[in-house]
Amino acid sequence: MAVEDGRPEAGVDYPRTYADLLEWFADDAACLEYLGRLRWPEGFRCPACGAGEYWRTGTGLWMCVACGRRTSVTAGTVLHRTRTPLTTWFAAVWFVTSTKTGVSAQGLQRVLGFGSYETAWAWLHKLRRAMVRPDRDLLGGPGVLVELDETFLDGVTRGGVDLWKAKVPVMLAVEKRGRKLGRIRARVTARPGSLAILDFAAEVIAPGTTVRTDGAPLLRRLADLGYAHQPTVAIRATDPATVLPGLHTVASLLKRWLIATLHYGIAAEHLPYYLDEFTFRFNRRDSRSRGLLFYRLLQQAIATDPHPLDTLIGGTQNTNP
């Protein structure tokens, strides 16, 4: 792999086309090999003793020559103990990342020939969980402005049907690099107008960053958290577009994406997963290669906690596709 400089190469580190995908990943052994390279870019390291020499077992594990410890490349990830062939997972990741706006559960069900809508739905949610890197870089930093606010996703409908009933408050942080928009973070909040937005800021914005907000008094505490706080004059601007233009743009895009992508209504409690997908796509919108998104999503998938279906839907079913 040519990833030493941090820039994976098309055709070398990730498939360029669907034809590449089929050729590279003809069976699960090839998929495992690839996941091994993503998990240990500098070569296998035994998690028990740190040694680097290994044998591959017939069951697809890495066995340490020094201490005999067997390691599964998928253990502790969304791909752990899946009964579905890895080749099908790889195809799903390809379809999810190869289109600009993503794929609906119905679309995935169709292209992969799943028996049920629920299976495709659960797969998409598992992949969405992988779209958030556990060790994500903080927004901001020297010379970068971050706009911070709450926005309400309300009246989101498709074909006259409400996607959800209540207004859903979402906290947004949007980088502005000069005139250009940078990366974003988004999170649903249960308590709009509360200290939750300060917790959110502390978790996603690097200390020292200039943070622009509206004039809500609560937000003055941002200065106590080590930010250069830049409140706008009005307490609540009547036209948010003029006060926090970057944030306003992102909020509109988010709403439009939700309307365009979703074929069925979504429950408000699943909105966090959709925010993760939107964030993943937005923050990589300039990627020249869709194949690179495939690479990044698989890379993140094997670094993510497993989320069995029952935790996704509140334990009402225990299908585990």
Q: Which is nearer to Zn ion, 49 or 267 (CB)?
A: 49
Three-state DSSP at 230 gives strand
**26 touching Zn ion, by CB under 5 A:** no
Give the Cα separation of 120 and 87 in Å (integer): 15
Shortest Cβ 4–Zn ion spacing (Å): 25
| Residue 69 contacts Zn ion per CB under 5 A | yes
Residue type at 154?
D
**Interface with Zn ion, residue 66, by CB under 5 A:** yes
CB closer to Zn ion out of 60 and 245: 60
Residue 65: CB minimum distance to Zn ion, A? 8
Q: Which of 49, 166, 218, 223 binds Zn ion (CB under 5 A)?
A: 49
* Token pair in block for residue 276: 């993760």
64 is a site residue for Zn ion (CB under 5 A): yes
Options 43-51, 86-94, 224-232, 296-304: segment touching Zn ion (CB under 5 A): 43-51
d(CA 21, CA 11): 10
> Does 62 sit near Zn ion (CB under 5 A)?
no
Shortest spacing between CB 49 and Zn ion, in angstroms: 3
What's phi and psi for 157, nearest 5 deg?
-130, 160
Q: Does 65 bind Zn ion (CB under 5 A)?
A: no
Q: 181 - beta bridge partners?
A: 176
In the complex with Zn ion, the residue whose CB is nearer, 49 or 111, is 49
Q: Kindly state the tokens that stand for 210.
A: 């200039």
Spell out a b/e string for 119-156, using b for 16 or more CB atoms within 10 Å of the CB, else e: bbbbbbbbbbbbbbeeeeebbbbeebbbbbbbbebeeb
Among 128, 34, 32, smallest CA distance to 85 is for 32
Q: Which of residues 54 and 227 has its CB atom nearest to Zn ion in the complex? A: 54
Residues 171-210 that bind Zn ion (CB under 5 A): none
Positions in the binding site for Zn ion (CB under 5 A): 46, 48-49, 51, 64, 66-67, 69
